[in-house]
Structure 1
Amino acid sequence: MTIGKKHWAIAEGYIPEGSTGPEPEMLSHETACILNTTDQDAHVELMIYFSDRDPIGPYEITVLAKRTKHVRFNDLAEPEKVPRGTDYASVFESDVPVVIQHTRLDSRQAELGLLSTMAYSE
């Protein structure tokens, strides 16, 4: 079964600057969970948009056929790191249909917060 879309957006993005608890498990982070149910590897380009500066990207991500990949925005480094403590949005373009879910772990306080939502697709 092939499910998904080729264009996705996450309008809300923010990597908290602080964390409590052991790393890497409890490090405050944002993640895009990408599911590829096709028989082909998915080649995904990710762009990051800001309210007060030009976008950065593309970040190039490969999700193997019939696999899932969790991409931490904190770990993105090329073409540059995604800034902490800054609002942003993200747009994904894939060459095959994929499904994308967004998750944030905010562990700035011991009573951590977890948010998860489906990205917008078209």
Structure 2
Amino acid sequence: MKTFGKKAWIIAEGYIPEYGTGPEPEFTSHETACILNTSNQKADIEITIFYSDKDPVGPYKVTVEAQRTKHLRFNDLQDPEPIPRGTDYACVIESNIPVVVQHTRLDSRQAENALLSTIAYSE
């Protein structure tokens, strides 16, 4: 299969709501980077988080196996430190091989849930 994507992606708008309504984990408010690897080799991913009021944090390291997708919840990132809820952030996602990244947010703070999804900016 042909390899699609880029090696660097930027999500300039990140925000994990502090709470949600509805059953967990399905309706936990969250941010997700959907990463698609169409190549025949694994993708080694490094994520750096940027804040408005402190130095960047990272890298968070993730692997996406060959010809697989990974829906990575930013809520689940723990090492080097958890991403705080209720805080604006942005991120740079770098891969050793081309991948495709889509950004999704589930905001379940109200009973009427909101879902946002957009393709990330690639470099």
TM-score norm. by structure 1 comes to 0.99
Q: Secondary structure of the residue that 2:75 maps to in structure 1?
A: helix
Aligned counterpart, 2:67: 66
Identity of aligned residues (%): 70
Structure 2 CA distance, aligned partners of 1:43 and 1:2? 15
Structure 1 residues 1-122: aligned runs within 5 Å: 1-122=2-123
Tell me the distance in 1 between the aligned counterparts of 2:19 and 2:98: 35
2 CA distance for matches of 1:114 and 1:92? 22
> CA offsets, 1:31-76, max 9 Å, x none?
0000000011000000000011011110000000000001000000
2:108 is aligned with what amino acid? S
State the alpha-carbon separation in 2 of the partners of residues 94 and 18 from structure 1.
31
Q: What per-residue deviation string (whole Å, max 9, x for no partner) do you get for residues 2-56 of structure 1?
A: 1000000000000000100000000000000000000110000000000110111
**How many residues were matched structurally?**
122
**Structure 1 segments unaligned to the other structure (5+ residues):** none
Letter in 2 for 1:6: K
Q: C-alpha separation between the residues in 2 aligned to 1:15 and 1:3?
A: 29
Q: 4+ residue stretches of structure 1 with deviation over 3 A?
A: none
